[in-house]
Structure 1
């Protein structure tokens, strides 16, 4: 019984931060129709900025609560600003081109950001553990967990609900939905489509950086973070369905539980299980578990 509970809790913890990353990836694809290879680099950028902020806050003697808030704000601000500059300065020049061209452009951005983070922060691991003990510990019978890990679950739920509400229950969200369904018609109705593109890309980058900042106290921040995260994020959005928030949530839970089960029962099959689930879903549902409805032109 303890093993089953451990797998479930570990899987949900893993799924929580992966969902936030995948949420940004699926949002960018839904609006801009771009498979953003550089998305993992923005996660890593958020983690690096968060770790640096915590290190500076600790040196100044700030309490963990303030360093926690500071690292989230700093990571979100820096990454979204970088994302906005990249979209306005680079990506907008390739809109309307073949999807493969945009894929290669984002891959080039990924390589550039990888080297840039190494240039700024070096290749040695950075630790930012101060906020990790902020919420204490909690026990479930014989199981003990750091409360920080469990806090990621409600944070991810709130993030998903907020994005869903923003897209479906606000005027700005209706405008974004209109651009998703038909950008040309939206432009003819006076919608500033390029502004929507810029906002969507920057917000997707912000979500990736937010997830990176949240996980920074849990891990050693070092080169290679972006590669692992982008692989898992792509697996999640492919399983759930590109452009679907609900699909990203279900895909993240499946991937999280698969990884937790493999770690506890068959560690050598961890990555295999993820690809097995993705392959099984694609065999029966090539569009993913939740296919986004698209407008049909007549």
Structure 2
């Protein structure tokens, strides 16, 4: 029983992290039909920004660990808005309407460029921001000791997922975005400023990416290359759940997280392959993903 509980908790923690990473990616694709390969760089920028701010705040050893949580959020919001605005206004707005494969190539090139930019800005030495992670201590449940910070990520993922769902389903702006998703040409003909909707969507997606990085920074060593690793996992999650679906991203993250946790506990030699195994099995049965919809092709 304790072993099953450990698998459930570890899987839920990993799934919450995966969802936070993948949420921004699926929001951008759902509205803009852009599979943003540079999303991993947003994650890395959020992690580096947060680690730098936390390091500066605790430089003299007198910082308040609880204040550092606020700094994580502020860094994520600032980094997402700044980087998202520069990329969307400076590059992507000139590419709207192009073939989806071309957009993948463009954003992949942007990923490579941003990876080098981050090395120029932050160097190649690792950054550590452990203070927020240790501030919450550890808790004991069913004989297992777990980090309270890791458990907090589950709550954050639930809040973020609920907020996104409510935004898209219950607000006027969300209904306009769903109209753009359904048919951007008709939405434009009805007076919707599609370009403005794209800007808002991209900023939300970029901020979700930097938020995931900022919240992850206290639990990891922030080093070059973390963005490349993350985009592969995020892509697997959104493909399993269905591209462009928030509920699909949540279901995909939970399925992948639990399967990976089970592999770690019972068959660690398969841990590296289980994510792609799950993706292959799901796509073999439902090529559009668990919550993906088959779209009619326009001729």
**Distance across 2 between alignment mates of 1:186 and 1:294:** 17
- Determine the structure 2 residue equivalent to 1:226: 227
Count of aligned pairs between the two proteins:
298
Q: How many angstroms does 1:139 deviate by?
A: 0.5
Q: Deviations over 1:219-263 (max 9, x none)?
A: 000011111111111110000000111110010011111221222
- Determine the structure 2 residue equivalent to 1:281: 282
Q: Deviations over 1:113-154 (max 9, x none)?
A: 111111111111110001012222110122001101000001
What is the DSSP-based 3-state SS (H/G/I as helix, E as strand, rest coil) of the residue aligned with 1:243?
coil
Q: How many angstroms does 1:265 deviate by?
A: 2.1
**Distance across 2 between alignment mates of 1:270 and 1:118:** 30
Question: Per the alignment, do residues 191 and 250 of structure 1 end up closer, same or farther by CA in structure 2, a change over 3 Å counting?
Answer: same
Q: How many angstroms does 1:190 deviate by?
A: 1.4
Name the TM-score, length of structure 1 as normaliser. 0.96
Q: CA RMSD in A?
A: 1.5
Q: How many angstroms does 1:295 deviate by?
A: 7.4
Determine if the alignment matches structure 1 residue 30 to structure 2 residue 30: yes
- Determine the structure 1 residue equivalent to 2:2: 2
**Distance across 1 between alignment mates of 2:239 and 2:21:** 14
Determine if the alignment matches structure 1 residue 150 to structure 2 residue 151: yes
**Distance across 2 between alignment mates of 1:140 and 1:263:** 20
Q: How many angstroms does 1:296 deviate by?
A: 8.0
Q: How many angstroms does 1:292 deviate by?
A: 3.5
**Distance across 2 between alignment mates of 1:265 and 1:147:** 24
- Determine the structure 1 residue equivalent to 2:13: 13
Q: Deviations over 1:21-70 (max 9, x none)?
A: 11111100001101111111100110000100101111253201111111
Unaligned 5+ segments in structure 2 are none
Determine if the alignment matches structure 1 residue 104 to structure 2 residue 79: no
- Determine the structure 1 residue equivalent to 2:49: 49
Output aligned runs, 1:86-101, within 5 Å: 86-101=87-102
**Distance across 2 between alignment mates of 1:293 and 1:268:** 36
The 8 Å contact of residues 80 and 208 in structure 2, kept in 1 or not, is answered as: no
The 8 Å contact of residues 243 and 292 in structure 1, kept in 2 or not, is answered as: no
Q: Deviations over 1:185-228 (max 9, x none)?
A: 11112111101101101110100110111110000000111111
- Determine the structure 2 residue equivalent to 1:67: 68
The 8 Å contact of residues 288 and 294 in structure 2, kept in 1 or not, is answered as: no
**Distance across 1 between alignment mates of 2:267 and 2:207:** 35
**Distance across 2 between alignment mates of 1:129 and 1:267:** 27
Q: How many angstroms does 1:293 deviate by?
A: 6.9
- Determine the structure 2 residue equivalent to 1:186: 187
